[in-house]
Amino acid sequence: MSIANDITITIGGEQITLRPSLRHAIRLERREGSFARLMREVAEDSLSAAHEIIGPHCPHLSPADVLDAGLSNLKFPLIAYIGRCTGIETEDAPAEGEDKGSAEGKTVTISEHLNGLYRTGTGWLGWTPAETLDSTPAEIIEAYKGRMEMLKAIFGGGEDKPKPETKAFTDDNVKSAFRALGTVIQTAAGKAE
C-alpha cells in the first residue's frame, strides 16, 4: 500500500493539495448516499460535489472558482481522492474467489471501516483523536501493520492475534461504485479489473 495519498489540483493558477485525512473521509461518508453517490455526482460534473470536496482544503475558493477550473479537469483527481479516503488500494483487494471479509466471513460498511480506523488510531496506536483524524486511512493502516510487526518482533507470536475491525473491510462498495461509473481499475501489475 502506498501512503503517498495527497492529490494536487490547480485552480486559478493556484496549486491546492487535497489530503484525504480520516476527518475528511468521515465527513464525506456521512453525506447522503455516502461515497457511491459522491463519486457518481463528481462523474456527472456536479459543482456542489466538487466544491464540497475541495472547500475544506481551500476555504477561500468559491464555487465559481471551482467552476472556472473546469469540472471535467477535476473529475479524475476528485474520484481518486474519494477512493483514497477509504484507504483501500486495488493491490489490497482480494483476488477473484478469495474470501472478501474477515476470517469470520464478516464484511463491514464503509462507515464501520472508518470508525474502525479511528479506534485503531486512538486505541491500538495510542494516537490522540486529533492525530488520528489528521492522518489518512492509508497511514493508519500502515502504522497498525508496523505496530503489529514490532510487537511480534518483541514478543513473538503467530497469526492468531486479534485484529481490529479495519482488517474486515472490503472494497466491494467502492469498486462497485467505480464500476457503475464505467471506470476500469488498473492494478500495479497493469491488469485491468
Residue 133: predicted pLDDT: 97
pLDDT tier, 169 (very low <50, low <70, confident <90, very high otherwise): very low
Check: CB of residue 45 under 8 Å from CB of residue 69: no
Residue 106: predicted pLDDT: 73
Q: What is the pLDDT of residues 27-43, one digit of tens each?
A: 999 999 999 999 999 99
Residue 48: predicted pLDDT: 94
Domain assignment present for 185: no
Question: Do 75 and 148 fall into the same domain?
Answer: no
Q: Counting beta carbons within 10 angstroms of the beta carbon of residue 90, is it exposed (0 to 12), middle (13 to 18) or buried (19 or more)? A: middle
Residue 157: predicted pLDDT: 74
Which residue range is the domain that position 105 belongs to?
A: 96-168
Number of folded domains that form the chain: 2
pLDDT tier, 185 (very low <50, low <70, confident <90, very high otherwise): low
Question: Do 128 and 143 fall into the same domain?
Answer: yes
- What one-letter code names the amino acid at 43? A
pLDDT tier, 193 (very low <50, low <70, confident <90, very high otherwise): low
Domain assignment present for 192: no
pLDDT tier, 98 (very low <50, low <70, confident <90, very high otherwise): very low
Res. 96: pLDDT tops 90? no
Q: What is the pLDDT of residues 103-138, one digit of tens each?
A: 455 788 899 999 999 999 999 999 999 999 999 999
- Per-residue burial over 120-143, b = 16 or more CB atoms within 10 Å of its CB, e = otherwise: bbbebbebeeeebbbbbbbbbbbb
Domain assignment present for 187: no
SS3 labels along 59-114: CCCCHHHHHHHCHHHHHHHHHHHHHHCCCCCHHHCCCCCCCCCCCCCCCCCHHHHH
